[in-house]
Structure 1
Amino acid sequence: MVEHEDLLRNSYAAFNARDIATALKALAPDVEWQDQLEGVTLHGPEAVAEYWRRQWAVMDPSFELKNFALDPNGHMVITLVQTIRGKDGEPISQGLVRHVYEFEKGLVHRMRIL
């Protein structure tokens, strides 16, 4: 579990720094990623990167990791504070969210939002 925590801590830090290349290193080539904006599942790291670019074009999201836990299926559940700011830097929203991760061969295979 610790190696997965470290992988995700690094990925979220890279996301917050807008370092796509580093953030994507956590993702498996066949990753499935929930797109919260359009309600669809994305496939592959490049689709996730494009999703992030679309987000960053219209808002400034960031995450603060609060807690890691395993659900009964062995999936990692992260509780985070999500802060959304407008492009002008003004706060739009802030609240707790939970992201659920499944891993294969040490990389994120699937991410969904609770």
Structure 2
Amino acid sequence: MKDVSVFIQNLYQLFNDRKIEEIVAHMDEDVKWANAMDGNFVYGPEAVREYWTKQFEVISSKVKPLTIEVENGVVKVHVHQVVHDVNGALLADQVRDHYFRLKNDKIIEFGIRENEIDDAGWTF
């Protein structure tokens, strides 16, 4: 992949625009994706699609990448995330770290780590 930063920024814009199909097209068929609502993972693009469809029925979130770093094959994205419920009440306004692993220009893993958790608490 020529420019990981541009790829990642585009993914977040697609997410904020709720263009699920365009994001899913960038996922490996065996993608492992963090399910922040349930605290586990979903596997495969169809499961991610279902997860987001369910998520967007109960919350509205906007996520803005602040910094993007690549180290040892992991893309770390420091993000500002604002989440509202369906009635517009603020649920969260926080900074978190998102992690991606890419292979052959496809997302193979995505994970989340809150900044308060040290690196030892993070696992893919």
TM-score, with normalisation over the residues of structure 2?
0.84
The 8 Å contact of residues 68 and 78 in structure 1, kept in 2 or not, is answered as yes
Q: Distance in 2 between matches of 1:90 and 1:50?
A: 24
Q: What residue number does 1:65 align with?
A: 65
In the alignment of these two chains, the number of paired residues is 113
1:108 matched to 2:114? The reply is: no
Q: What residue number does 1:98 align with?
A: 97
The 8 Å contact of residues 73 and 102 in structure 2, kept in 1 or not, is answered as no
What runs of 5+ residues in structure 1 fail to find an aligned partner?
A: none
Change (3 A) 1:29 1:3: farther
Superposed, which structure 2 residues align to 1:19-98 within 5 Å? 19-71=19-71, 73-98=72-97
RMSD: 1.4
Q: Distance in 2 between matches of 1:86 and 1:35?
A: 17
The 8 Å contact of residues 35 and 41 in structure 2, kept in 1 or not, is answered as yes
Q: Distance in 1 between matches of 2:43 and 2:85?
A: 27
Q: Distance in 2 between matches of 1:19 and 1:110?
A: 19
Cα offsets for 1:43-71 (capped at 9, x unmatched): 11111111111111111011011000123
Q: What residue number does 2:120 align with?
A: none
Q: Distance in 2 between matches of 1:23 and 1:6?
A: 14
Alpha-carbon distance, 1:28 to partner: 1.2
1:4 matched to 2:24? The reply is: no
Displaced runs of 4 or more, over 3 A:
none
Q: Distance in 2 between matches of 1:68 and 1:30?
A: 24
Q: Distance in 2 between matches of 1:82 and 1:42?
A: 21
The 8 Å contact of residues 10 and 23 in structure 1, kept in 2 or not, is answered as no
TM-score, with normalisation over the residues of structure 1?
0.90
The one-letter code of the counterpart of 1:38 is D
The one-letter code of the counterpart of 1:98 is D
